[in-house]
Amino acid sequence: MSPRLVNVGFGNSVVSRRVVAIVSPNAAPVKRMRDEAREEKRLIDATQGRRTRSVIITDSNHLILSAVQAETIAQRFGVELTVPEKDLDI
């Protein structure tokens, strides 16, 4: 069985079974992870110079920066995102 590639923007793809998480880049812990990955040469920038909108974490502990929203990438993986009812303002 060949690996399934998922487009993360601008012609860049990742192997779906290697992805552990897709997160927003705005949280302080994610920013620290990004800085550490850059220092340790584990950071892959797939933004093509655009603003980072999501960070993809792989099983090899590499971080991939993408200019595509995390929700959009999750949809490309076929994952349905749900929001717990307690988080909804009803």
What is the per-residue pLDDT across 2-47, written as a single tens digit (0 to 9) for each? 889 999 999 999 999 999 999 999 999 999 999 999 999 999 999 9
User: Is 84 inside any structural domain?
Assistant: no
User: Is 88 inside any structural domain?
Assistant: no
> Residues 45-56: what's their mean pLDDT?
97
Question: Looking at residue 24, what is its pLDDT?
Answer: 96
CA distance 6 to 43: 18
User: Is 83 inside any structural domain?
Assistant: no
Confidence class for position 84, pLDDT limits 50, 70, 90: low
Burial class of 80 by CB neighbour count within 10 A (0 to 12, 13 to 18, 19+): exposed
For residue 14 the two structure tokens come to 């990742």
Q: Is the pLDDT of residue 71 over 90?
A: yes
Domain that includes residue 73, residue range: 5-78
In the chain, how many domains are there? 1
> Residues 67-88: what's their mean pLDDT?
80
Confidence class for position 69, pLDDT limits 50, 70, 90: very high
- Three-state DSSP at 48 gives coil
User: Is 50 inside any structural domain?
Assistant: yes
User: Is 87 inside any structural domain?
Assistant: no
User: Is 40 inside any structural domain?
Assistant: yes
User: Is 21 inside any structural domain?
Assistant: yes
Question: Looking at residue 90, what is its pLDDT?
Answer: 56
